Chains A and B, each alone.
Chain A
Amino acid sequence: MTSENGTTKAQTALAVPSRSLAWRRRRDSAARFWRQYRAHRAGLSGLAALLLFALLALTAPLLVGSDVDNVTDAPGGPLEDPSARFPFGTDRFGRNLLGLVIWGARVSLLVGLLAAVLSVAIGTLIGVTAGHFKGWYATVMMRITDWFLVMPTLVLAIALATVMPRSLLTIVVAIGVTTWPTTARLVRAQTLAVETRPYIERARALGGGHWHIMSRHVLPNVMPLVLAQTTLIISTAILAEATLAFLGLGDPTVVSWGALLQDAREAGAVSSGHWWYLVPPGVAIAVVALAFTLCGRAVEQVLNPRLGVSR
Chain B
Amino acid sequence: MDTNDQYGGHHRTPARVPLGRTPARAPLGRTPRRARLVAAAGAAALALSAGLATPLSPAPSQAHAADDDGKKVLTVAVAQSVDSLSPFLAVRLLSTSIHRLTYEYLTNYDPEDNSVVPGFANKWESSPDKLTWTYTIRSDSKWSDGEQATAEDAAWTFNTMMTDPGAATANGSFVSNFEKVTAPSPTQLVIELKKPQATMTALDVPIVPKHVWEKVDDYSKFNNDKDFPVVGNGPFVLTDYKPDSYVRLKANKDFWRGAPKFDELVFRYYKDQDAAVSALRKGEVSFVAGSPSLTPAQAASLKGEKNIHVNDAPGRRFYALATNPGARARNGETMGDGHPSLLDQRVRNALFKAVDREAVIDKVFQGHAVEGAGYIPPRFSPYFWKPSPGQELTYDPDEAGRMLDRAGLKKNADGRRIGKDGKPITYRVLCHATDPNDKAIGQYLQEWWGELGIGVTLNCLDNVTDPWLAGEYDLAFDGWSVNPDPDFVLSIHTCAALPATPEETGATDNFICDKTYDELYARQLAEYDPDKRAAIVKRMESRLYDLGYMNVMAYPNAVEAYRTDQIESITTMPAKAGNIYGQDGYWSWWSAAPADSGDSSGGSSSTGVVVGIVAGVVVLAGAGAFFTLRRRATADERE
Chain A residues packing against B (C-beta within 8 Å): 41-42, 70-72, 74, 78-79, 92-94, 153-154, 162, 166, 232-233, 235-236, 239-240, 242-243, 246-248, 251-253, 258, 261, 265-274, 289-290, 293-294, 296-297, 310-311
Contact = CB atoms under 8 A, between A and B. Distances in A.
Contacts of A93: 363, 440, 443
Contacts, number: 125
Interface string B270-295: 00111101100100000000000011
Contacts of A267: 295-297, 436
B439 A266 contact: yes
A293 B22 CA distance: 11
Contact of B274 (A74, A268, A310): A268
Nearest to B281: A271
27 contacts: A42-B28, A71-B443, A72-B359, A93-B443, A166-B460, A233-B24, A239-B19, A247-B16, A248-B14, A248-B16, A248-B433, A251-B458, A252-B460, A258-B19, A261-B19, A266-B295, A268-B273, A268-B277, A270-B278, A272-B277, A289-B22, A290-B28, A294-B28, A297-B29, A297-B30, A310-B31, A311-B31
A271 B459 contact: no
Interface in B31-51: 31
B453 to A, nearest CB: 16
A252 B25 CA distance: 31
Interface in B438-469: 439-440, 442-444, 446-448, 458-460, 462
B334 interface: no
Given A70-B447, A310-B31, A253 B297 contact: no
B176 interface: no
Contacts of B28: 42, 290, 293-294, 297
A96 to B, nearest CB: 15
Contacts of B440: 71, 92-93
A270 B273 CA distance: 10
B628 interface: no
A156 to B, nearest CB: 13
B239 interface: no
A128 B423 CA distance: 45
A166 B431 CA distance: 12
B273 to A, nearest CB: 6
A232 B23 CA distance: 10
Nearest to A265: B274
Contacts of A246: 18-19
A209 B460 CA distance: 51
Contacts of A94: 363
Contacts of B446: 253
A235 B448 contact: no
Given A70-B447, A267-B295, A271-B281, A252 B22 contact: no
Given A166-B459, A239-B21, A271 B448 contact: no
B21 A270 contact: no
B297 A269 contact: yes
A297 B361 CA distance: 51
A57 B121 CA distance: 69
Contacts of B459: 166
A42 B273 CA distance: 40
Contacts of B163: none
Nearest to A40: B29
A200 B366 CA distance: 71
Contact of B21 (A70, A236, A269): A236
B458 A253 contact: yes
Contacts of A41: 29
Contact of B297 (A71, A248, A268, A290): A268
B274 A253 contact: no
Contacts of B394: none
A310 B639 CA distance: 12
B447 A310 contact: no
Question: What class of interface size applies to chain B in its complex with A?
Answer: 35 or more
Contacts of A239: 19, 21-22
Given A243-B18, A310-B30, A271 B363 contact: no
Contacts of B448: 72
A84 B31 CA distance: 41
B458 A252 contact: yes
B433 A274 contact: no
A220 to B, nearest CB: 25
B173 interface: no
A247 B439 CA distance: 14
Given A72-B359, A297-B28, A252 B439 contact: yes
Nearest to A251: B458
B301 interface: yes
Contacts of A79: 296-297
B591 interface: no
B298 interface: yes
A297 B30 CA distance: 9
A282 B361 CA distance: 30
Given A252-B442, A265-B274, 5 more contacts: A93-B443, A243-B21, A267-B296, A268-B297, A293-B24
Contacts of B281: 271
Given A42-B28, A310-B30, A271 B274 contact: yes
A72 B447 contact: yes
A271 B443 contact: no
A24 B553 CA distance: 69
B300 interface: yes
A186 to B, nearest CB: 12
Contacts of A297: 28-30
Contacts of A154: 18, 21
A294 B16 CA distance: 30
A6 B440 CA distance: 59
Contacts of B458: 166, 251-253
Contacts of A251: 458
Given A268-B297, A270-B274, A294-B29, A253 B442 contact: yes
B164 to A, nearest CB: 37
A251 B459 CA distance: 8
A272 B301 contact: yes
B443 A253 contact: yes
Contact of B18 (A235, A247, A294): A247
Q: Which of A239, A258, A266, A273 has the most CB of B within 10 A?
A: A266
A265 B28 CA distance: 30
